[in-house]
Amino acid sequence: MNIIFHGQSCVEIEFEGHTIIIDPFLTGNPLATAKAEDIRADYILVTHGHGDHVGDTISIAERNQATVIGPNDLCRYLGFQGAKTHGMGIGGAFQFPFGKVKLTLALHDSSYSPYGSTENIYTGMASGFLITAEGKTIYHAGDTGLFRDMKEIGKHNDINLAFLPIGDNFTMGPEDAVMAAKYLKADTVVPMHYNTFPIIKQDPDAFVRSLAEEDIKGIVMTPGQQLKL
């Protein structure tokens, strides 16, 4: 499979015959090198309702006739906007044509504010994703703080690649993300959710060096960079 990082928490994964994109925040993302209209995806996975994660979900879904996968309350709302959706609950798993998706806990809030509106719509629990396909497992933590059940996620899953937020303020900071990496025991860890806005400015190279001190492999992916798994 081929992994493409688009900045913030947006990750595109190309499988044999299928493409998915997670948290497609491209329009308005100052770090993104891709444009929403260039994305071709069969499935869109959304961790929670915040605008920097829902992003271009509706437009990408409509143009590609893609199915949106995510927490049930969020999918219900996106369904009202015309998207084809598959809602799930925390701890639930489902076998899709590209592979299995399981929703994991994420310690974060989740609401959506339509552009130009003062309305704040509750969209259920935030989540992360465990994606298992082609003999590999990817963990996308979503926006979350550190939680000890990450030990259980690492214990019961052989994670090849983990995307962990390091921005602090709204999510884990680098120190807690190192602890999360130790819990998860992933083969490789990639930092995400940093430097998009001043309030979440971090040094990803320093984070990777901290991982190395714990004998954990880390990779900094720049927007547009690809990784073969």
What is the phi/psi pair of residue 189, to 5°? Answer: -120, 135
User: By the 8 A CB rule, do 47 and 23 touch?
Assistant: yes
The full 3-state SS of 150-168, as one line of letters, equals HHHHHHHCCCCEEEEECCC
Band the pLDDT of 118: cuts 50, 70, 90.
confident
Side chain identity at residue 186, one-letter code: A
The whole model's pTM is what? 0.97
Residue 116 has pLDDT above 90, yes or no: no
Q: Which two tokens stand for residue 97?
A: 């044509």
pLDDT score for 7? 97
Residue 117 has pLDDT above 90, yes or no: no
Name the residue with tokens 């999360």. Answer: 180
User: By the 8 A CB rule, do 111 and 128 touch?
Assistant: no
The arithmetic mean of pLDDT across residues 86-104, rounded, is 98
Residue 216 has pLDDT above 90, yes or no: yes
pLDDT score for 114? 85
Percent of the residues in the chain that have a pLDDT greater than 70, as a whole number: 100
The arithmetic mean of pLDDT across residues 21-39, rounded, is 97
Residue 115 has pLDDT above 90, yes or no: no
User: By the 8 A CB rule, do 23 and 45 touch?
Assistant: yes
Tens digit of each residue's pLDDT (9 = 90 or more) over 67-83: 999 999 999 999 999 99
Per-domain residue ranges of the chain: 2-228
Architecture of domain 2-228: 4-Layer Sandwich (3.60)
Band the pLDDT of 185: cuts 50, 70, 90.
very high
What 8-state DSSP symbol labels residue 30?
T
Q: What is the mean pLDDT of the chain?
A: 97
